[in-house]
Amino acid sequence: MAKKKNRQKFIPLLIIAAILFGLILIFNRSTALSEWYMQHIYPVVAFILSTISGLIPLSLYDLFIIVASLYLIALILLVIFRKIGFKIFLYSLIRFATILVAWFYFAWGIAYFREDFYAKNNVKETSFDANNLKLFVDHFIADANEAYVDFDVLDRTGVRQELERSYESLHKTLAIDYPNGKRTVKPMLFESIYSNMGVSGYFGPFFNEIHVNNYSLNASYPFTLAHEMAHQFGIAHESEANLYAFAVCLGSEDERIRYSAYLSTILYVINDAAVFLPDVVDSLASAIRPEIIADLRENRRHWMAVRNRSLSNMQDKAYDAYLKTNKVSSGSDNYSEVVGLLISSYDEFKKNSPAIPSATTD
């Protein structure tokens, strides 16, 4: 009788789990279906989740991770000390995993399966070769030098409002739905630990929440916030989130936000030059304004002062594995792939910038 009862409990659960995982697999294999979901269903989901989470000042994502972790630990301890049988443990574990995975993907994670930037935005991909890269690096550094501005004070609430305005202005150009829910910047519950790991921001998919580390320096804060906002708009890949953050910051009417775009991106450009243009990278980098170099060094010193090597390495490996699990084959290196995207779209984004262009492409 007990075996029959257990079977009756397991069979519906396994059927539901099979259906949900099967649906996720279908989305994984179909970019068109995933794109349709992110354009038509996700905006509704984002509105519901962000409205609920916006009512609570604390990070529901962080609280959820705590509760989920405690639940798993309790479940393991209960089966170890034989307070529950293995079948109950297995049933609870499968139910938990099914809810967690389904919630993640249908709340936001399907964004990993959608079309890439070029397909979504009808942008022709420019070949990534040494000649194109050199022309771009020269062009980019000249514009970065022109964009430099010295500032100490930054109204972070005002930055969020200005980035919101810029996203609204550019949402058709960027092929994203607007308003797509509400964007409230949540504080990190474990900010010191995240600082130790070098995490400047993250997006909480379960409750559609944006988090930015307040330890960030003013010069990098606008770009970090714009990057996390891009995730909330349904841009999953880190390279594309970097690109959208750059475009939105560049389209801002605030010169400090425009400078943040260049400051936060220029190292990606120089690092690619070091790999593909090793013979000329030093001469290219020497053209960067000393003030920008000083800001880059200050930002590195700022984060290294609190970095915990073990925690940072652990976080890097975990996030690398997470990205590779979600069709990002390059893992954490995906951040730096923004350079290839910029080569194909930079001049188009500059047309939307209030700043007067300082250089033209040959």
Residue length, the chain?
362
Which range (12-26, 195-209, 249-263, 320-334) has the least confidence? 320-334
The pLDDT tens digits for 240-266 are 999 999 999 999 999 999 999 999 999
pLDDT of residue 331: 81
The pLDDT tens digits for 297-328 are 999 999 999 999 999 999 999 989 998 889 88
Average pLDDT, the chain: 94
Share of the chain above pLDDT 90, in %: 88
Confirm if 164 and 171 have CB atoms less than 8 A apart.
no
The pLDDT tens digits for 104-148 are 999 999 999 999 999 999 999 998 999 999 999 999 999 999 999
Evaluate if residue 347 carries a pLDDT over 80. yes
Backbone Cα Rg of the chain:
23
For residue 302, give the 3-state DSSP assignment. Answer: helix
Distances in whole angstroms, Cα of residue 22 to Cα of each of 101, 236, 248 = 12, 21, 37
- Burial letters 260-273, b for 16+ CB under 10 A, else e: bbbbbbbebbbebb
pLDDT of residue 186: 96
Average pLDDT (51-75) is 97
Evaluate if residue 287 carries a pLDDT over 90. yes
The pLDDT tens digits for 213-230 are 999 999 999 999 999 999
pLDDT of residue 352: 86
Residue 359: band (very low, low, confident or very high) from pLDDT cuts 50, 70, 90: very low
Residue 233: band (very low, low, confident or very high) from pLDDT cuts 50, 70, 90: very high
What are the structure tokens assigned to 135, written together? 């022309």
What are the structure tokens assigned to 275, written together? 């790999």
pLDDT of residue 360: 42
Residue 62: band (very low, low, confident or very high) from pLDDT cuts 50, 70, 90: very high
pLDDT of residue 7: 64
Q: Which residue has the higher pLDDT, 7 or 59?
A: 59
Average pLDDT (197-212) is 98
Please work out, in degrees rounded to the nearest 5, the angle formed at the alpha carbon of residue 184 by the alpha carbons of 243 and 182.
80
Residue 340: band (very low, low, confident or very high) from pLDDT cuts 50, 70, 90: very high
Share of the chain above pLDDT 70, in %: 96
> Facing residues of 212 across strands?
201
Helices 130-147 + 338-350 axis angle, to 10? 60
Evaluate if residue 329 carries a pLDDT over 90. no
pLDDT of residue 358: 46
Evaluate if residue 98 carries a pLDDT over 80. yes
Residue 5: band (very low, low, confident or very high) from pLDDT cuts 50, 70, 90: low
pLDDT of residue 4: 56
Could you tell me whether strands 201-204 and 209-212 are parallel, antiparallel, or unpaired per DSSP bridges?
antiparallel
What are the structure tokens assigned to 56, written together? 């609570």
Please work out, in degrees rounded to the nearest 5, the angle formed at the alpha carbon of residue 278 by the alpha carbons of 274 and 281.
65
Q: How many CA atoms lie within 13 A of 81 on its CB side?
A: 6
